Amino acid sequence: MTRGRFITLEGGEGAGKSTQAKRLAETLRRRGLEVIETREPGGADGAERLRDVLLDAPKEWWDPVGEALLLAAARRNHLQHTIRPALDRGAWVICDRFADSTMAYQGHGHGVPEGTLETLYDVAAGPFGPDLTLILDVPAETGLARAASRGTVNRFEALDRAFHLRVHLGFHDIAAREPERCMLIDALADQDTVASRVLAAVDARIAEWAADADAVDGSQPVVE
């Protein structure tokens, strides 16, 4: 059985990740794929409990390292109970946030050393990562205004503008450092336009995966 694909959507507050993840999943299902929609923090029973502990707690409860530890524990639970089982049976997994958010928020935003976050990721996930990451890009102020219009504010949305500017730049840094995995998507347009851009990026990567598979298959000797 062919292993499924793991696609993550990233970006700052109000970038539209949840909406675009849902729309992408629906499109892939119409093509006959089994698609699992999930999120971080969360995505499994234990991880959802930790999501509540992290996002709904007073901001003084957790310092940046404490946040990173909670996220690592939630990620391990998520991988064990949702992501890996789905990929192993051939399903595609669409995830609203993953480890890049930890690097952008706790690393670039809060200043947790990159090496610390990489160590936590290695402990939680090992040699595992997304097949494709789509970073939805909107200016920090625009994203915060969109988030505020929802009427609820979590512990991260409540942080100051300077923090969110650092997060925004962090995502750009991640995209620049890993262009083979990350694709930056302009998400300022209406939802339909952004959905078309997301799908075009995914289809381009699917074509690359197919070409790579053909190349591997064509290189195999014929055994008679």
Consult the annotation and say whether 149 binds a ligand: no
Mode of pairing for the β-strands spanning 132-137 and 182-186? parallel
Q: How many helices (H) and strands (E) does the chain have?
A: 9, 5
Residue 160 confidence (pLDDT): 87
Consult the annotation and say whether 34 binds a ligand: no
Consult the annotation and say whether 115 binds a ligand: no
Name the CA radius of gyration of the chain, rounded. 18
Consult the annotation and say whether 109 binds a ligand: no
Residue 7 confidence (pLDDT): 98
Residue 216 confidence (pLDDT): 67
Consult the annotation and say whether 22 binds a ligand: no
Cβ density class 199-212: b for 16+ within 10 Å, e for less: eebbeebeeeeeee
Q: Angle between the 17-30 and 191-219 helix axes, to the nearest 10 degrees? A: 50
Residue 159 confidence (pLDDT): 84
Which ranges of the chain have pLDDT less than 50? 219-224
Consult the annotation and say whether 60 binds a ligand: no
User: In order of start, what are the domains of the chain with their CATH numbers?
Assistant: 6-210 (3.40.50.300)
Whole-prediction pTM:
0.92
